[in-house]
Structures are given as structure tokens and as C-alpha cells.
Amino acid sequence: MKKRKLFIAVIFLFTGILFFSLNLFKPMEEREIKTTFTTEEFLADFDELWEILSENYYYFPYLEKNGVDIEALKADTRRQLESRIHDIEGFYYLLEVMFRKMYNFAHLDIVNATVYATYQNNYGLESIPDNNWKNVLQNPQTQAIYAYLEETDKIKVLQKYDDYFIPEIEASYDETRDVIIFKIFSFDGRICERDQHKIEEYLTAINDNKIAHIIFDIRGNAGGNDKYWWNNIVGPFGGDYEWTNWYYVRETELIWDYFFNDFHPKRISNIQEHNVPAAVEDFGLTHYFTFTRKLSSDTVLKEKMLSAKRWVIIDEQVYSSADSFAAFCKETGWATLVGERTKGDGKGVSPILITLPKTGLLVRFSGVAVESSDGNLNAITGTRPDVRINISNGNVYDEIYKIIEEE
């Protein structure tokens, strides 16, 4: 009888191991896809998230210095998660609020539907070579949870900006001053083609007029895609441009997965004849790499448009790829920057993605700290204007006209 019981127990044990093994080694697309989760699963994702951030997110010292009590925020958010979060929407919003309390600094955020779609278009298409962003996006659980949210209309709840209308470029011509003004609200990749020839067409349409100055007003522009400003703003004027950026990283498995093969970072201790920003040591960054960008295009405009002096108005809301444009202008001399320093965190590569293993939701943050033109870290100091004016005082264009008249 004992042998029979032992035999049955062994059978059950073997069957359990076999079932587990078959499920474990199934292709990812055949594993169970979930859309509902327990509190324990939410907590597991939350704890995994913080473990990853503590090792790979650089800016906790800066946030602490600026009044964010990281440990208190983490503990309070976890308590709320334990007591009152029961569905994926609540979990999403809890993380969104937590990151907002950290100012979403250096692109730290839960990935919403718009950003998810943007990453898919930039990295996830079959025609695009394999890369770490693509590998994350191909996670079946991630694809399923975003599809579920969309199919059930819950995606509307999770979209902060998805349904808003991005205004087209506004253009005006001041004949008395021979000045053209372009107001550009966003560099969103979704409108890159829509706006592709707007500036070119406007400049061509008034080609018989005398043009002395062209002003690009990008105040409030939170970025989108560098291709927007290169194709739509710089490209029509033509030219060859080359500039080098310095990037700093921390040696971790995650960071190396994203950047080692392409950039082969070297130890900061090997740097000679270059002043490393003081914050690099404060943030525990260990390695660096440089990357030289080269851009060129043929002009499609007539000479008098090319000889007009170019100005770009910036403020503290200019961010990400809009900051990249401001930095390009400053470092190449393409235009004179006027206004206030930007919010920064441009000049880099796309923020890295991490997958929360239970839910499949994505979190992103900047995996590189890039040096600004003034020798600090761009995420902290942004890009400074060549000519500072107080944006909040009166008519900004009148202020620029005064500067123009004094030249």
C-alpha cells in the first residue's frame, strides 16, 4: 500500500514537473496572456520596477536635492497599491502619478498609447533590424495588454494627449520689418509628413518679397522626433553639418544591452583633455562615449531666403527633440537662440524601455546622460539661449524686433 501511494505521488510530481516544463518552454506567443491581475502581481511588478530604477536610473540624487523624498514616495505608493488598486487602469494611473511627482525627469514615465505606437513605428516594424527596443516591443504580454486596453476603449483613459489636435504650423509675414515668423507647436512624428513642405511652400510663395529675418518660435514645444526638425525646418535651407556629443552612462547589464554593441563605452578615468561635468561623479556614472552626427541636404530655396538671419525662440517648456533642435542651432550656428533656457534632455538617443514582467506595461527613462554645450549635463541645465529675454514680459516678438534693430 505504501509503495502504491509512493508511486502515485511520484506520478503526480512528475506530471506537475512535466506540465510546468511544457508551459515554461512553450514559445512566448503560446504562453498564457493575461489582462487581469492580482494585487500580488501588481506588487511584484512594482518591486521589480524599483529594483531596476535603483540600478539604472541616474537622477535620484538630483531629485532628492530638489525636494523629492524618493523613499517616502516609494513607500506611500506601495501602500496605496496594496490597499486600493484592483485593476490595470488603477495600476497604470498610480505609476503615472508617482512618476509625475518625480517631475517625469529625464523621460521617466509609464508608456502611454501614443508613445507605444511611436516606438512601434520607430523600432518595432519587421523591416527594421533587430534592436533592444524592438525586442521589448515584441513581448507578447506587452502587445496583448496594450491591445486589450485599446479594444475595450480603456485606451482612451490611458491616453494623455492621444486625441488632441496638434495645430499646423502658423506662418506670418511682417512687411514693415521684412520678417517671417513660423510658430511650430510640436515635433510629433505623426505630423512629420503633414508638415513636411509647409515652411518650404510658404517661403516659396512669398519669394518676390524682401526677407531679412526668419523667426522660428518653438516655445512650449515638448518634442517628438528629430526627423521633424531636420526634414521640415533645416532641410529646405540645405547645408552640411557635423557636431559631436559626449554621453555618459553607468555600467549595468541593462545599459550595456542597449548601448555597448553600438557605442563601446570606455571608462571615464581614461578621458584626457576634456572637462567632465561634476554631476557625472555625483550620479555614479562610470563610462562615456562620443558620437558625431553628420547631416546634409541640398537647398530648395533661393539665395535671398538663405541669406536671411535665422532666430529660434525657446523657453523652459522646450524639451526632448525640440531641445535637440535648439542644441543643434547653438552648436552649429544655424540660428541664434533667443528666450530662456530649455527643459533639456535632448541631444540623446531614444529613452530605453523596461517591461514590467507580470502586466507587460512599459516604463521608459533616459539611459544616457548627455553633455550640454556649456559643459553641464543637458537634462539638468538644458540649452541656454544666445540672447536671454524674459518670455513672460509682454510681446516676445517686440523684444526680438528691438534686438534686430540694435544689430
Cell of residue 246, nine digits: 559626449
Q: Which amino acid is residue 106, in one-letter code?
A: A
| pLDDT tens digit at each of 407 positions of the chain | 434 443 333 333 333 433 333 333 334 445 478 889 999 999 999 999 999 999 999 999 999 999 999 999 999 999 999 999 999 999 999 999 999 999 999 999 999 887 888 888 888 888 888 889 999 999 999 999 988 877 765 545 444 444 347 899 999 999 899 999 999 999 988 888 889 889 999 988 886 678 899 999 999 999 999 999 999 999 999 999 999 999 999 999 999 999 999 999 999 999 999 999 999 999 999 999 999 999 999 888 878 788 899 999 999 999 999 999 999 999 999 999 999 999 999 987 899 999 999 999 999 999 999 999 899 999 999 999 999 998 887 789 999 999 988 87
Tell me the one-letter amino acid at 249.
V
Which among 108, 377, 335, 365 has a CA at the least distance from the CA of 245?
377
Pairing verdict, β 369-370 and 309-314: unpaired
| 170-349+366-406 under CATH 3.90.1720.10, yes or no | no
Position 295: which residue type? L
Compute the distance between CA of residue 360 and CA of residue 65 in angstroms, rounded to an integer.
Answer: 32
Q: What is the C-alpha to C-alpha distance for residues 54 and 361, in angstroms, rounded to an integer?
A: 19
Domain ranges of the chain: 34-158, 170-349+366-406
